Each structure stands twice: as structure tokens, then as C-alpha cells.
Amino acid sequence: MNLTRDRLHQVGWVAILIVCAALTLALTFKVNAVKSQVRLTERKIVAIKQDAMFLETEFETRANQQQLSNLNTVEFGYQAPTAAQYLEGERQLAALGKPRGPGAPSPIRVASAAEVAQDSAFPALVSPLTGKAMAAELPKGEPKKKVTAATLRDKLSTVEKQDTRSE
């Protein structure tokens, strides 16, 4: 195999390019590995900071609880509730009630709706002007008109005709 000088240069350049490409690929993998480690370390730092903030808050809360407990015991004489202080039911709670004193406001009462007739799913509508049921205000001799698509089309066409005449 006779290799000429130009052919040898070409093979040398190809070999150098292959070596450079391999080194670039290795360097890229190394850089990505380092970036991944940096991201992982940053996540750990953030998690540790959050844990530290949680522990600081917990410490401050417990310190305040101890301070409040001391204040309640020394200043106000409060004590933790005992088992005898809990109520068994509503009757015991009602027994603790006191009669209303003079000048006390009346108790709050809850309104309840009247029973609705079984034939109708909704209560009758009442006119705010007359106070009568809306169905009672309809004239007795005049039956309710049924609205259909044809009647709506007729009304629409008459309105359109009036609009064109007025223009």
C-alpha cells in the first residue's frame, strides 16, 4: 500500500479530528456531571435552609409556649383542664345555661320554609307590589298562552317590519 504524502496528511487530519471529537465528547460528559452535582448540592442547601427555618420556628414556638405557660400559672392562675371538666353531651351543656337577664337581646331564631304543595316543585311566586301569588293575578277567563317557535318568529317578523317602516 503506497501512501503518498497528501494521503498521509489527510489520514493524519482525520485522526486528529477524531481524537478532538472524542476529547470534546468526554469534556462535555464531565461538564454535565459537574453541573448535575452542583444542582444536587444546591437542592440540598435549599432543603437544609428550609429545615433550619422550620427548627427555628419550632424553637420559638416552644419557647413562647413555655413563656405562656409560666405567665398563665404565675400571673393568672390558669390550670390545664382535667377530665372532670369535660361535658358528656348536650344536656350537660344546656344545664350550664343561665336565664336571660333584664335587657339581654332576644335569642337568634332560625327561619324555616313552609311545606310546599306536592304538585309543584317550586313555591308560588309572590308579587312584591300586590303581595298575591303571581298565578292568582292572571285573569280567570284568559288561559295561559303557550309560547312556540312559530309565535316567536311571527313576533320577530312584525318587529322587523316596524323597524323598516320607521326608517
Give me the tens of pLDDT residue by residue for the chain, a chain 167 residues long.
Answer: 566 888 888 999 999 999 999 999 999 999 999 999 999 999 999 999 999 999 998 888 888 887 888 777 777 777 777 888 888 888 888 888 777 788 888 877 777 766 655 555 666 677 766 777 766 545 555 555 666 667 767 777 777 777 666 65
Distance, CA of 49 to CA of 55 (rounded, Å): 10
**pTM above threshold 0.85:** no
CA dihedral in degrees (93, 96, 98, 104; nearest 10)?
Answer: -50
